[in-house]
Homo-oligomer: A and B are copies of this chain.
């Protein structure tokens, strides 16, 4: 019988599930609320129920993308800044206990899942090595080398948001200073607007979560201060990309996540800065592309994590 793989993406709002065939064809999808903000117990309960809903599907393996640091070897959720009480949480063990299934479960960081999704079925299709940058609340990274996900020695690779590009820069959630995430993320944009006398005034009354979108609107309406913020955003993204390209010599960089919606406002400066900073050899043939799968990249990548976990060729 042909195998089927279930991929699940754990988001702040939703749990999304997708099933693919051996050949990677979509066979169906569902979603439900994650309620991740209510803590890990509620999330695990919702997740277990969600998986049980697929019981009739004869799934061969389950891949789960988690918004946090994952030790994929033992299935531990080391930390997840946006889910309470998750320090060194035995994720896979608790889940398997709860759902009582023999179906193998494989976990992976959500940014790595997104990279895998875009590589297999999106903007990175056909590339041999690739980095994907996810511009959301933070600055996530996923690395594909020689066609395979590089998750690191213990599954922690791809934390590209914490490349220090200015050691005396703003304080980062990680405790460091001047990480690229403090310049290129939703968190960064909110901080920059807050610290900008002129913009702060224009955003009085704007809900915190609506700031990035509103800043993009302002820039499209030719507001000079807003344009300048996106220019700096683009330049700093270019600095971050140049580090990854100089170190890894990947030829494809895919940029996705919610903030990539402001693409035309920052990409010019990004390309300019990347061209300035990438060494000759590494820059040759470099393509910086916009992600094409949107929210699908993560859940699709989770399907591939399931497939990979079971052994692609078996």
Contacts and interface: CB of A to CB of B under 8 A. Distances in A.
The copy count of this chain in the complex is 2
A244 B247 contact: yes
Contact of A248 (B152, B164, B246): B152
A166 B243 CA distance: 12
Contacts of A175: 276
Contacts of A129: 152-153
A157 B280 contact: no
Interface stretch (A32-40, A143-151, A205-213): A143-151
Interface in A165-194: 165-167, 174-176
A277 B157 contact: no
Contacts of A248: 143, 150, 152, 157, 247
A285 B165 CA distance: 25
Contacts of A251: 153-154
A281 B155 contact: yes
A173 to B, nearest CB: 10
A281 B71 contact: yes
A303 interface: no
B163 A163 contact: yes
A162 interface: yes
Contact of A69 (B162, B165, B280): B280
- Interface core residue of A151, A154, A281 (most chain B CB under 10 Å): A281
B281 A69 contact: yes
A48 interface: no
Interface of A: 69, 71, 78-79, 128-129, 141, 143, 145, 150-160, 162-167, 174-176, 235-236, 239, 242-244, 246-251, 276-277, 279-282, 284-285
28 contacts: A69-B280, A78-B281, A79-B281, A128-B153, A143-B247, A143-B248, A152-B249, A152-B250, A152-B282, A154-B249, A154-B281, A154-B284, A155-B281, A156-B279, A158-B247, A159-B246, A159-B282, A160-B246, A160-B247, A162-B279, A163-B163, A163-B247, A164-B239, A174-B277, A175-B276, A176-B277, A243-B243, A247-B248
